[in-house]
Amino acid sequence: MEADAEAGRVTTGSRRPGPLRFWTCLLGLLLLVLLTDSAKQSVPRVTLGYKELVHSGTVAPFREGLHSHTLLLDEERGRLLLGARDHIYMLDLEHLNRSPKKISWPASKERVETCIFAGKNPHTECANFIRVLHSYNRTHVYACGTGAFLPQCGFVEAGGRGEDSTFHLHLHSIEPGRLKCPFDPWQPFASVLTGEKNPSTAVPPHRCQPDLIPPVLTDVFPPASARTLSGSVDRL
């Protein structure tokens, strides 16, 4: 009996692996090879630390826009607009180490004082945080800020390219931004600008009527397609 059992064990151990086991092993080997090649390809050819980048002279630290709230990328003209606290910055994508152009657009002193008196934070709430940036045509951008809980909007001229580009705010175009921009600088929202864009327009119309659907969507429409929607708006 012991001899028969031992013979049975020998017979069982000498069996060849079946086709399923063979293909499973082969598939595992192929996956291992593919993962190894992928890991090799994902390794960067050159690795530079922060100090090395700064010493190379090809980059410059940008700390001014720490309170940034919105971005507008214009690949055609090689620029990036950054909406921040009391400022709009324009960075040159081809020369990021250059000092960016900027527009100062603070809230009025009276408005800031009112905001602080209402119990809001003077550093993170009582300022004009730029939250809306939309390309209107080839030369102008429509921008809106919270205005220390009194939103305001206006047109920014951003024509040209590189060092020859123009970048300034049309003060006469500033208008109330209620229902166009959130009152709260930290309220989540999204926006879209619809309507015809006329590249030949030198100075765009000064009236844009958007609809605000807090906290999800802000739609900016020209007067012809304006709609009236109801929604709660936090204001002082």
CA dihedral 182, 82, 80, 178 (to 10 degrees): 20
Task: Tell me the average pLDDT of the chain.
Answer: 74
Comparing 131-145, 158-172, 184-198, 213-227, the range with the smallest average pLDDT is 213-227
Helix (H) or strand (E) holding 132: strand 130-135
* CATH number 2.130.10.10 given to 50-225: yes
Q: Is the pLDDT of residue 234 over 60?
A: no
Q: What are 150's two structure tokens? A: 């009194």
**pLDDT grade, residue 45 (50/70/90)?**
low
The Cα–Cα gap between 25 and 58 comes to 50
**pLDDT grade, residue 96 (50/70/90)?**
confident
**pLDDT grade, residue 58 (50/70/90)?**
low
Query: What is the chain's percent helix, strand, coil content, to nearest 5?
Result: 25, 25, 50
Q: Report the predicted TM-score, pTM, of the whole model to 2 decimal places.
A: 0.63
- Residue-wise over 5-41: b if at least 16 C-beta within 10 A, else e? eeeeeeeeeeeeeeeeeeeeeeeeeeeeeeeeeeeee
pLDDT exceeding 70 applies to what percent of the chain? 62
